Amino acid sequence: MPRPSRRDDVIKTAIALFSKHGFNGTGVDMIMREAKVSKKTMYSYFRSKDELILAALQHYDGLFRNNFMKQVDKAAPTAEKRLLAMFDVAKLWFMQDHFFGCMFINAVGEYSDADTPIRNVSVHFKAQIRGYIKELCIQAGAKDADGLADELALMLEGAIVTAQVGKNPEAADIAKKSAQKIITAHLA
């Protein structure tokens, strides 16, 4: 496997710092220091901090979403069980030392202006996760796959925020119990 490029190193460093300190709380100087790159190198890759934030979000999107879906798919043999396994996978994420909430929720919180690239990539990420949930709902035979997907996505988002704010990974278990009732009602 080839060594990641310096640009990739900067992005990975930025992701870690943005996750821990927030986007506004992380300065370009901090990223350069942690990534061990010069200002010239930094600005040869990214013309602005916003461009780096966008690159970091796009990179993290692919990593997180693919990893999350693979773990859910591996955790349960059927679509119906995968709908619940999402919360088990989420709990494992919540329990990690480097869990600082959802990077995309945090991005929208700090960059709330409508129709900006940072907000748009965050909205796209959430739509992709909801689309994955909807596909599982269809595979499980839900009569109203859109409605069930909306409810489960809301449960998952609520668990993420509760785990972040309350430092409570058990939020996933609480959401899972409610999700079981919702799934049963939709599949009956």
Q: What is the pLDDT of residue 124?
A: 95
Q: What is the pLDDT of residue 110?
A: 93
Query: Coil, strand or helix: which one is 168?
Result: coil
Q: What is the pLDDT of residue 27?
A: 95
Q: What is the pLDDT of residue 4?
A: 66
What are the Cα distances from residue 159, in Å, to 42, 65, 68, 171? 36, 17, 15, 5
Q: What is the pLDDT of residue 40?
A: 94
Q: What is the pLDDT of residue 137?
A: 98
Q: What is the pLDDT of residue 154?
A: 98
Per-domain residue ranges for the chain? 6-187
Domain range 6-187, CATH architecture:
Orthogonal Bundle (1.10)
**Pairwise CA distance, residues 79 & 187, whole Å:** 12
pTM passes above 0.75: yes
pLDDT digit string (tens) for the chain, length 188 residues: 556 689 999 999 999 999 999 999 999 999 999 999 999 999 999 999 999 999 999 999 999 999 999 999 999 999 999 999 999 999 999 999 999 999 999 999 999 888 899 999 999 999 999 999 999 999 999 999 999 999 999 999 999 999 999 999 999 999 999 999 999 999 98
Ramachandran area for residue 5 (φ above 0: left; ψ -120 to 50: alpha; else beta): beta
* Residue whose entry in the numeric block shows the structure tokens 């996505």: 153
Closest CA to 122 of 183, 54, 50: 54
Q: What is the pLDDT of residue 2?
A: 58
- What is the DSSP secondary-structure string of 31-99? HHHHHT--HHHHHHH-SSHHHHHHHHHHHHHHHHHHHHHHHHHHH-SSHHHHHHHHHHHHHHHHTSTT-
Angle between helices 117-140 and 171-187 (to 10 degrees): 50
**Pairwise CA distance, residues 173 & 86, whole Å:** 11
